[in-house]
Amino acid sequence: MSQGPSEASSPTPSAKNDGWWYPLIYVAAFVVIIIVNLVMVNYATRSFSGISTRDPYMTGNHYNGEIELAEAQKKLGWTSTLGADVVDPAPGQAGPQAYPTRLSFAVKDRDGLPIEGLTVAVEVRRPTQQNMDQHAELVATGKGVYSQVIPLPAPGQWEIRLFAQREGQVYRLNQRALIQATPTP
């Protein structure tokens, strides 16, 4: 008896196709992607809460007041510079956790004359860690320059919020500074 064309070319029931494992490659790739994403999400949620203000609702309600303060500051015509430089630690202050940083604030009026008699307060904040915030008052050193050395606990990015006032005049400045681990020459 002769076999027909359909009987001769059909595989035996126990034989597998050569590419049976190709779908497993795709499944394994997606499993790896999902595991990596879960690790990244876990790290992201543990390292930064996403909250940058203590009371976002009230901050939003006072936004128009912030705009008015910015316009009043612009009308003053003051110009300023703010510097942040690591200095050599004083004797007895040296240590791995101390990064003494000199904050220097120079301010001039619209005519280019130095402004004296200001009360200058600063808040130095670590953008990613709230427990490292520092507060200080800058001391007048003459000719519109105010300065102070603040021991920061770590090098890196810091946000400096400055608030200067005199006789009802208010000047605010927010600036980021990169604090290096070694003093600048």
Q: What is the pLDDT of residue 106?
A: 93
* pLDDT tens per residue, range 130-172: 788 889 999 999 899 999 998 888 888 899 999 999 988 899 9
Does residue 165 belong to any structural domain of this protein?
yes
Both structure tokens of 111: 């005519």
Both structure tokens of 171: 């000047």
**Is residue 59 over pLDDT 60?**
yes
The residue-averaged pLDDT of 30-42 equals 96
Q: What is the pLDDT of residue 96?
A: 53
End-to-end CA distance of the chain: 100
CA 12 to chain centre: 66
Residue 62 pLDDT grade (very low, low, confident, very high; cuts 50, 70, 90): confident
Cα distance between residue 128 and residue 68, in whole Å: 29
Does residue 101 belong to any structural domain of this protein?
yes
Mean pLDDT of the residues in the chain: 83
Q: What is the pLDDT of residue 120?
A: 94
Does residue 111 belong to any structural domain of this protein?
yes
Closest by CA position to 142, among listed 102, 101, 106 = 106
Residue 17 pLDDT grade (very low, low, confident, very high; cuts 50, 70, 90): confident
* Interstrand relation of 129-142 and 79-86 (parallel, antiparallel or unpaired): unpaired
Residue 123 pLDDT grade (very low, low, confident, very high; cuts 50, 70, 90): very high
Q: Cα-Cα-Cα-Cα dihedral of 31, 32, 33, 34, to 10°?
A: 50
Q: How far is CA 150 from CA 76, 78, 84, 124, 164, in A?
A: 29, 25, 10, 9, 17
User: How many domains does the chain fold into?
Assistant: 1
Does residue 81 belong to any structural domain of this protein?
yes
Query: How many other CB atoms are there within 10 angstroms of residue 181's CB atom?
Result: 9
DSSP for 87-132, written as a single string: -PPPTT--STT-EEEEEEEEEE-TTSPBP-S-EEEEEEEETTEEEE
The residue-averaged pLDDT of 115-125 equals 93
Does residue 7 belong to any structural domain of this protein?
no
The CATH number given to whatever domain includes residue 82 is 2.60.40.10
pTM given for the model = 0.63
Does residue 162 belong to any structural domain of this protein?
yes
Closest by CA position to 180, among listed 102, 80, 94 = 102
Does residue 48 belong to any structural domain of this protein?
no
pLDDT more than 90, % of the chain: 37
**Is residue 185 over pLDDT 70?**
no
User: What is the domain range of residue 98?
Assistant: 77-179
